[in-house]
Amino acid sequence: MLIAVDAMGGDFAPEAVVGGVLAVARDVAGDIALVGPAERLEALLPRPRARPRNVRIVDAPQVIGMGEDPGRAVRSKPDSSLAVTVNLVRDGEADAAVSAGNSGAFMFLAQVRLRTMPGLQRPGIAVPLPGGGGPRILIDAGANVDCRPLHLAQFGMMGSIYAEHAWGCASPRVGLLSIGHEASKGDELTRAAHDLLRAAPLNFIGNVEGDQLFADGVDVVVADGFVGNVALKVTEGVGHTLLQFIKEALHSSPRYRLGAWLVRSALRQAMSKMDYANYGGALLLGVNGICVVGHGRSSARAVANAVRVAERAVLGGVRERMEEGLQRMAGLENGANSVGVSAG
170 binds a second copy (CB under 8 A): no
Which of residues 225, 281, 294, 316 is near a second copy by CB under 8 A? 225
Among residues 29 and 262, whose Cβ is nearest to a second copy? 262
190 binds a second copy (CB under 8 A): yes
Question: What three-state secondary structure class fits 217?
Answer: coil
- The pattern of x and - marking residues 251 through 290 that bind a second copy according to CB under 8 A reads -xx-xx-xxxxxx--xx-xxx-xx----------------
If you ran DSSP here, which 8-state letter would residue 279 be given?
A: G
d(CA 153, CA 224): 10
Site for a second copy in 121-140 (CB under 8 A): 131-132
219 binds a second copy (CB under 8 A): no
Size of the site for a second copy (CB under 8 A): 65
- The pattern of x and - marking residues 85 through 124 that bind a second copy according to CB under 8 A reads ----------------------------------------
Which of residues 233, 320, 328, 331 is near a second copy by CB under 8 A? 233
**Measured in whole angstroms, how far is the alpha carbon of residue 296 from the centre of its chain?**
12
Contact segment (CB under 8 A) with a second copy among 112-120, 197-205, 250-258, 314-322 equals: 250-258
Site for a second copy in 304-343 (CB under 8 A): 342-343
43 binds a second copy (CB under 8 A): no
232 binds a second copy (CB under 8 A): yes
Question: Beta-carbon neighbour count of residue 244 at 10 Å?
Answer: 10
- Phi first, then psi: give them for residue 10, nearest 5 degrees: 115, 160
d(CA 4, CA 106): 13
Contact segment (CB under 8 A) with a second copy among 39-47, 76-84, 198-206, 243-251 equals: 243-251
Contact set with a second copy (CB under 8 A): 131-132, 142, 145-146, 177-179, 186-190, 209-215, 223-227, 229-242, 244-246, 248-250, 252-253, 255-256, 258-263, 266-267, 269-271, 273-274, 342-344
